[in-house]
Structure 1
Amino acid sequence: MHSVGLSTRQGWRYQVPILAKRFKVLTFDFRGLGESERGSEPLSVATFVKDLSALLPMLGISQTVLMGISLGGFVAQAFAVAYPEVVSALILVSTASKIFSGASARRAERNEHIRRYGMRAVAGRQLESHFLPSFAAEKPTIMEWYKAHYLANDPANYIEIMNDLGEFDSTDLLAEISCPTLVVAGNSDVTSVAGNRPLDSAVALHQLIKQSELAVIEGAHHYPQIDQVDAFNTRVLGFLSRTKANPHQSGS
């Protein structure tokens, strides 16, 4: 499950071909993002959990591994708490049990800029905060690809989701998660989701979820599945092998 800024399942472009060699892989766009219509429900983690709870039975999936990044990680946590019998394992990437309170003013300022001037008004700042300068310089094509998806966000939908994430707090619920969990974070992630400092949120998740292990990806920023592909894929595949995920039932 994808993030808000990279508003599409295509954010897993470097993982799906590798995972599909061993697993049944499911990727989809959240409502109001990517290619999915908005519908009439509020754009919130609660709605996305509800959508996933309807989607999986429709596809005949009774149990699955959930992998989510940023927004997708929030949804994965909430889903695992609500439907523990469905989730055989979790992979939580660049996400948090809650966004630290100091980010609220920055979020409000960004949302106001988007409301007044559209996504383009904050696109430059988004790229700077989500990728290391060295990676951006070496991979201009990926930067253009990411920027195109970021600009494709509907401003109203983006603001609604970001405001909901600002209210999200699973801290008191994560002790209920008992399935094997891999928490993945880049040691250079300085986004608000990462915490006051890089790895703050990842360490907190690791401490709150009993059956968890922490994978720190060196040199990675907010999207380790993009800027450190090999290291990310190695950690994920190793985790799935250790948890003995069923190739015929697991999705991501």
Structure 2
Amino acid sequence: MTEFDTASQDAATLETAPTRYIEGSGIRFAYRRLGPSTGTALVLLQHFSGNIDAWDPAVVNGLAADRPVIAFDNTGVGRSTGQTPDNIGAMARDAVAFIKLLGLPEVDLLGFSLGGCVAQQIAAEHGRLVRKLILVGTAPKGGEEHLLTVLQDAFSQTEAPDVRLPLFFTKSSASQSAGLAFLKRAKVRREDRDTDNGGAVTDRQAKALITWCATPDPEHAILRAIRQPVLVVSGSHDTMLPADNAYAMFKALSNAQLVLYPDSGHGALFQYHELFVSHVRTFLEA
């Protein structure tokens, strides 16, 4: 990488960074890389239905202030090619393939919602690849989910300017105000925005998430295989993947910390973006 490239990357934000592509095993992955060119990269694994531009710039840019951060579209999502898998195991394999294509020997993972399930699978199977793990608004295998019920309710609220308001935030005025601010931040980028592939992605992602949570794992085999330090984060009133999941993961993991944010839903990391960035940075630097 040239000095110019390094300087450009350091100065880039989620809103301004170019979308790059890397190809292997028949898949062309779309991604954006922010922050310094050296250090352990933090790879972001996105939520159900989300793409690169569904991340909160305040979160991504804040995390990239002192470390490399990589946001990408897994197979079939956004501008990445291929068919989105309908199971967590295949999603994890594709994410590992992407990380290896970038030539990264070790990474930190931040998995949000569906991405948190994928992150668990990766960390359990690839202990040397993953240094530290952040699990946000997610569930263990066999955990509790209310995806379809909550989606139906959210889409019925036609007065909402964006379905993410009822999905990610509580009904309180403070949470709704934070939600509107998040939506404004997420829409700043206008050029080279990521693409929404609709049901071709979400139908298969929904099957993967629902199957993951419907598959019993009474011995918590996946969680007990994770030896890395883990930060578990949840909103107090997450209706999609309730906070009981966070506590269950915290208890089953061998080396975990638990953070619960008040008066917040599935999008707690966006509602409390400054606090979340601070907590993650402290955890990664410890």
* Superposition TM-score tier, normalisation by shorter sequence: 0.7 to 0.9
1: CA distance between counterparts of 2:239 and 2:48? 16
Amino acid across the alignment from 2:95: L
* Counterpart contact for 2:57–2:185, Cα < 8 Å: no
* Aligned CA distance change for structure 1 residues 95 and 101 (closer, same or farther; 3 Å): closer
Which residue of 1 is the match for residue 180 of structure 2?
Answer: 140
2: CA distance between counterparts of 1:42 and 1:92? 21
* Counterpart contact for 2:56–2:185, Cα < 8 Å: no
Shift, 1:176, TM fit:
1.0
- Equivalent of 2:236 in 187, 191, 216: 187
* Counterpart contact for 1:29–1:35, Cα < 8 Å: yes
Which residue of 2 is the match for residue 229 of structure 1?
Answer: 273
2:85 paired with 1:42: yes
- Equivalent of 1:64 in 98, 107, 128: 107
Shift, 1:106, TM fit:
3.1
Shift, 1:34, TM fit:
2.6
- Equivalent of 2:76 in 24, 28, 32: 32
Q: Secondary structure at the match of 1:85?
A: coil
CA RMSD of aligned residues (A): 3.3
* Counterpart contact for 1:7–1:29, Cα < 8 Å: yes
* Aligned CA distance change for structure 1 residues 239 and 155 (closer, same or farther; 3 Å): same
Shift, 1:179, TM fit:
0.6
Which residue of 2 is the match for residue 117 of structure 1?
Answer: none
Structure 1-normalised TM-score?
Answer: 0.77
CA displacement 1:62-85 (0-9 Å, x = unmatched) = 111111100110010000111111
2: CA distance between counterparts of 1:105 and 1:216? 24
Which residue of 2 is the match for residue 238 of structure 1?
Answer: 282
Which residue of 2 is the match for residue 82 of structure 1?
Answer: 125
1: CA distance between counterparts of 2:95 and 2:145? 31
* Counterpart contact for 1:81–1:176, Cα < 8 Å: yes
2:223 paired with 1:174: yes
Shift, 1:153, TM fit:
4.5
* Aligned CA distance change for structure 1 residues 217 and 158 (closer, same or farther; 3 Å): same
2: CA distance between counterparts of 1:174 and 1:185? 17
* Aligned CA distance change for structure 1 residues 144 and 188 (closer, same or farther; 3 Å): same
Q: Secondary structure at the match of 2:108?
A: strand
- Equivalent of 1:127 in 157, 165, 175: 165
Matches within 5 A, 1:4-43: 4-8=48-52, 10-37=54-81, 39-40=82-83, 42-43=85-86
2: CA distance between counterparts of 1:71 and 1:36? 17
2:251 paired with 1:207: yes
Q: Which structure has the highest strand share of the two?
A: 2
2: CA distance between counterparts of 1:140 and 1:102? 25
Amino acid across the alignment from 1:45: I
- Equivalent of 1:154 in 178, 185, 198: 198
CA displacement 1:18-58 (0-9 Å, x = unmatched) = 22222111110122323323x14634322221112211222
Tell which has more relative contact order, 1 or 2 (C-alpha 8 A, sep 6+): 1
* Aligned CA distance change for structure 1 residues 176 and 9 (closer, same or farther; 3 Å): farther
Amino acid across the alignment from 1:16: V
Q: Secondary structure at the match of 2:55?
A: helix
Structure 2-normalised TM-score?
Answer: 0.69
* Counterpart contact for 1:99–1:165, Cα < 8 Å: no
* Aligned CA distance change for structure 1 residues 228 and 28 (closer, same or farther; 3 Å): same
Shift, 1:5, TM fit:
3.6
Q: Secondary structure at the match of 1:92?
A: strand
| Number of residue equivalences | 228
* Aligned CA distance change for structure 1 residues 99 and 33 (closer, same or farther; 3 Å): farther
